[in-house]
Structure 1
Amino acid sequence: EWEPANSWYRQGSSATAIFEFGGGKLFTYAGSWCAGGFRTSWESTWRIVAERGSLVWDGDDGLKAEVVRPVREGLFDRTEPLAVPPLDPNDRVGGHLGIIQDFVRAVETGTEPETHGADNIKSLAMVFGAIESAETGRRVAIAQER
Structure 2
Amino acid sequence: MEVINTIGRRKTSVARIYLTQGEGKITVNKKNLDDYFPSAILRTIINQPLELTNEAGNYDVKVNVQGGGITGQAEAVRLAIAKAMCEINAEHRLVLKPEGLLTRDPRMVERKKPGRRKARRKFQFSKR
Which interval holds the TM-score relative to the shorter structure? under 0.3
Q: Which structure is richer in relative contact order (CA contacts within 8 A, separation 6 or more)?
A: 2
* TM-score with structure 2 setting the length: 0.27
* TM-score with structure 1 setting the length: 0.25
The structure whose residues are more often helix, as a share, is 2
